[in-house]
Structure 1
């Protein structure tokens, strides 16, 4: 399967821009996973932990985010977080 393009942005800067296998996002309605080819989707995110997977079973990063928005479109996943730091 093709990789998912993932970008994490805060008001200060672009923190990550990379191709990954999957990202699990802490949405206000519950956590959700995004793989390449996901249907277009927007969600408000709650404070919590983003999990970035480099492979099907490999978490390559855990990033604490403080609120914001997530958008999935044909280009990939963009997370606009109020603040973010490595967990």
Structure 2
């Protein structure tokens, strides 16, 4: 099972790949997204996005400076205001 993950800035599509899990810096706290997560939309605070390529893997981190996260049946899309 894999989560379809996209990271987009106003300038371009930064990433589009299948991953195991992503931990997102939501405005009301961090939350993890796995495949099959319930649909939701959240604003993002400045912080680190942690991308796990496989279960138990060391996460790759990307610093964000605000934005919006949308989880739907297609996966997780992060619309970042800018990357840190």
Cα deviation code 1:39-80 (max 9, x no counterpart): 001000000000000112113421000100000000000000
Task: Report the TM-score when normalising by structure 1.
Answer: 0.93
Distance 2:48 2:30 in 1: 9
Instruction: Pick the structure with more strand per residue.
Output: 1
**1:51–1:59 CA contact under 8 A, matched in 2:** no
Structure 1 gaps of 5+ residues are: none
Distance 1:26 1:53 in 2: 15
Number of residue pairs the alignment of both structures matches:
84
Task: Report the TM-score when normalising by structure 2.
Answer: 0.96
Which ranges of 4 or more aligned residues in structure 1 deviate by more than 4 Å? none
